Chain A
Amino acid sequence: MNDDINITQMETPELLELIQDDLYEGLADEVAASVNELLAREMTPYEVLNQGLVAGMDIVGADFRDGILFVPEVLMAAKAMKAGMAILRPLLVETGAPQMGTLVIGTVKGDIHDIGKNLVSMMMEGAGFNVINLGINTNVDAFLEAIREHKPEILGMSAMLTTTMPYMAVVIEALEQEGLREQLLVLVGGAPLNDAFAEEIRADAYCRDAAVGVETAKKMLAIKRGQLN
């Protein structure tokens, strides 16, 4: 749709807006082209990430939450985001810019439901996080091993059944015993959960859907890193 737009002629603020529109439309090639153009204008990779890609995905996330966009549109936007990230990630590492972070996520032991959990994975990847997806029926040892290996900032746990959600408490207790709890944000989700349950098991937050999950992860990480109050 951008055949008649010459991005080299556009002002930088306009181009940042264009990236957001193209993300919303799920146009991977166009997003990548704009990222390259902005980098050529000597914007830092971190600025392009935050003012372009992250800002764009915020709009996608909000419209998903509000029922304006649905999963197909969000996944196409996430793919476009990944096309941009593929360019930015090595540069971000090189320049020592802060990373979005790493998420280890799994459906807890006893539970074989994974659609919601996979959706969270895809949207978190789309938001620029590095995601380690442990799959279904994940026991406490598998969670601990992955946390030791990947040193994530965030642990996500999912359960669809009332009979399996208590296992989240088992994992959190193990984290406490192993001295791993403090370094992690623990986010939980799944149909039968609610805020009260998250509080009861000492998780950091319950996330109603994938969009809320991404939003919560970003906000709580920023607070933890002292970027917000």
Chain B
Amino acid sequence: MPTIQDLLEKKDYVITDGAMGTLLFSAGLEQGDPPEIWNLKHPERVAEVHQVYLEAGSQIILTNTFGGSRLRLALHNAESQAAAANQAAAQILRKVADQSSQEVIVAGDMGPTGEILAPYGELAFQDAKEVFKEQAAALIAGGVDLIWIETMSDLEEVRAAVEGTREVSSDIPIVTTMTFDTHGRTMMGVTPEQAFETLSGFGATALGGNCGNGPEEIIEVITKMRTFDQDSILVAKANAGIPELVQGKAVYRASPETMADYAIQSYKAGARVIGACCGSTPDHIAAITKALSNFSKQ
């Protein structure tokens, strides 16, 4: 199985996947139901989403486990299925990757708990760590190549996720990205510079920004992080804009063409792991794949 560094030696950028939820909804997921339960209920439909991203050019694909922590699933009274849903998710994606002739990295996705850690909120650090440990253990048991911690706003929660992962595996690569959607910082006030320093200190293989208010925001984040050093692998995974109501209909501002342009801008700013987040589709990823390929030939 390849590492991000292996892939970067062959071609100096790596493409991730895009949004999962949107595609699961069109495959019949009920609004309000947790997507993660589909890893147990409809594994073939989850595999199908991974497959279309793979065909669109994704080299790193994320498991369907963003909200798979015990704390998120508890909101659906499904916390007892946390371990099983995460392990199944890893197995589904592992199989898709193993059956492909392309080189694909299987990334075990962990999103925020949705709670705020003490002293600001109620969640104790140790409890958060246990929650992430359970999720990471299940993902690793299911065969993921690395752990992907994303959409974080609190550095302490990232630390809980990293330490929880490290209790399960001392050497599995970890990628961490935060969401800088509030006046250029994360919701908890973390600047890109602070994030870079702290996440590097955690020993992250790659780090950067994801989600947020759209492409422009992430390019700013990458530019700021890049000023620190030239060696770190930076990740840009922007939303396809914020959905806007136009004549009563919801539209994502960012077309595949816009996202392709964003991918080039991110690359120029120094990002080497590039993909998309909420609102994106395999069409966006295909456009990114094509644009980066054309750009690197110039």
- List the interface of chain A (C-beta within 8 A of B): 67, 69-73, 75-76, 109-112, 114-115, 118-119, 122, 135-137, 161-164, 191-192, 194, 196-197, 200
Chain A proximity of B149: nearest CB distance (Å): 16
**Chain B residue with Cβ nearest A136:** B75
**Chain B residue with Cβ nearest A139:** B32
Provide the bound-state CA to CA distance between A70 and B116, in Å. 13
Chain A proximity of B265: nearest CB distance (Å): 23
Q: Which residues of chain B come closer than 8 Å to A192, judged between CB atoms?
A: 242-245, 250
Ordered by A's residue number, 19 sampled pairs between the chains whose C-beta atoms are within 8 Å are: A67-B182, A67-B183, A67-B185, A70-B185, A71-B120, A71-B189, A72-B188, A72-B189, A109-B32, A110-B32, A111-B31, A114-B114, A115-B112, A119-B187, A136-B75, A163-B250, A164-B32, A192-B245, A196-B245
Provide the bound-state CA to CA distance between A67 and B67, in Å. 28
Knowing A75-B116, A191-B243, A192-B243, the reply to whether A112 touches B189 (Cβ < 8 A) is: no
Provide the bound-state CA to CA distance between A3 and B266, in Å. 51
Provide the bound-state CA to CA distance between A112 and B114, in Å. 10
Tell me whether A75 and B121 are in contact (CB under 8 A): yes
Q: Is the interface of A mostly helix, strand, loop or mixed?
A: loop
Provide the bound-state CA to CA distance between A196 and B243, in Å. 14
**Chain B residue with Cβ nearest A138:** B32
B34 at the interface (CB under 8 A from A): yes
Q: Which residues of chain B come closer than 8 Å to A112, judged between CB atoms?
A: 32, 34, 67, 72, 75-76
Q: Which of B48-101 touch A at CB < 8 Å?
A: 67, 72, 75-76
Chain A proximity of B31: nearest CB distance (Å): 3
Provide the bound-state CA to CA distance between A75 and B119, in Å. 9
**Chain B residue with Cβ nearest A115:** B114
Provide the bound-state CA to CA distance between A197 and B31, in Å. 20
Chain A proximity of B116: nearest CB distance (Å): 7
Chain A proximity of B50: nearest CB distance (Å): 22
5 more CB-based (< 8 A) A-B contacts, given A72-B188, A75-B120: A110-B32, A162-B243, A162-B250, A163-B25, A163-B250
